[in-house]
Amino acid sequence: MRIVDSRGTDAIATVFVGDLGEGRLVEFVESVQPPIPREQKWVLIISVLHGCPVGCPICDAGDTYGGRLSVNELLAQIDFLVHRRYPDGCVPVEKLKIQFARMGEPALNPAVLDVIERLPERYEAPGLIPSISTIAPAGANPFFDRLLGIKRDHFADGRFQLQFSIHSSDSAWRDRLIPMAKWSFEEIARYGERLHQSGDRKITLNFALAEGVPIDSSVLRDCFDPAGFLIKITPINPTLRAQSAGLRSFVDARDPGRIYEELVALEDAGFEVLLSIGEVEENQIGSNCGQFVSRLRERSAGICDLPEVGYGYWRSNAPT
The 10s digit of each residue's pLDDT in 41-64 is 999 999 999 989 999 998 888 777
Percent of the chain clearing pLDDT 90 (strictly above): 70
Query: In this structure, is residue 313 part of a structural domain?
Result: no
**Residue 285: band (very low, low, confident or very high) from pLDDT cuts 50, 70, 90:** low
The answer for residues whose C-beta is within 8 angstroms of residue 264's C-beta and 6 or more apart is none
* Pairwise CA distance, residues 122 & 10, whole Å: 24
Q: Does the pLDDT at position 213 exceed 90? A: yes
Query: In this structure, is residue 104 part of a structural domain?
Result: yes
pLDDT for 304 equals 39
The answer for residues whose C-beta is within 8 angstroms of residue 122's C-beta and 6 or more apart is 75, 89
DSSP state of 130: E
Q: How many domains does the chain have?
A: 1
Query: In this structure, is residue 315 part of a structural domain?
Result: no
Range of the domain at 268: 2-300
The mean pLDDT value for 196-225 works out to 96
Q: Does the pLDDT at position 303 exceed 50? A: no
237: domain CATH number?
3.20.20.70
pLDDT for 300 equals 52
* 22 φ, ψ (degrees, to nearest 5): 60, 30
Q: Which residues of 188-216 are buried (b: 16+ CB within 10 A; e: fewer)?
A: bbebbeebbeeebbbbbbbbbbbeebebe
pLDDT for 34 equals 87
Query: In this structure, is residue 156 part of a structural domain?
Result: yes
The mean pLDDT value for 25-33 works out to 92
Contact 267, 233 (CB under 8 A): no
* Pairwise CA distance, residues 238 & 260, whole Å: 20
Query: In this structure, is residue 37 part of a structural domain?
Result: yes
Cross-strand bridge partners of residue 124: 90
The mean pLDDT value for 78-88 works out to 97
Query: In this structure, is residue 199 part of a structural domain?
Result: yes
Residue of 300, 278, 319 lying closest to 15 (CA atoms): 278
Q: pTM here? A: 0.89
Question: What is the chain's mean pLDDT, rounded?
Answer: 88
Q: Three-state DSSP class for 66?
A: strand
Query: In this structure, is residue 71 part of a structural domain?
Result: yes
* Pairwise CA distance, residues 52 & 32, whole Å: 26
The 10s digit of each residue's pLDDT in 261-272 is 999 999 999 999
Q: How many residues does the chain have?
A: 320
Query: In this structure, is residue 318 part of a structural domain?
Result: no
* Position with higher pLDDT, 287 vs 260: 260
The 10s digit of each residue's pLDDT in 100-145 is 988 999 999 999 999 999 999 999 999 999 999 999 999 999 999 9
The 10s digit of each residue's pLDDT in 231-281 is 999 988 777 788 889 999 998 877 877 889 999 999 999 999 999 876 545
* 319 φ, ψ (degrees, to nearest 5): -60, 155
- Which of 14-18, 147-151, 159-163, 300-304 is the least confident region? 300-304
* Pairwise CA distance, residues 232 & 183, whole Å: 19
**Residue 194: band (very low, low, confident or very high) from pLDDT cuts 50, 70, 90:** very high
Q: Does the pLDDT at position 310 exceed 60? A: no
* Position with higher pLDDT, 21 vs 230: 230
* Position with higher pLDDT, 305 vs 20: 20
Q: Does the pLDDT at position 298 exceed 60? A: no
Q: Does the pLDDT at position 16 exceed 90? A: yes
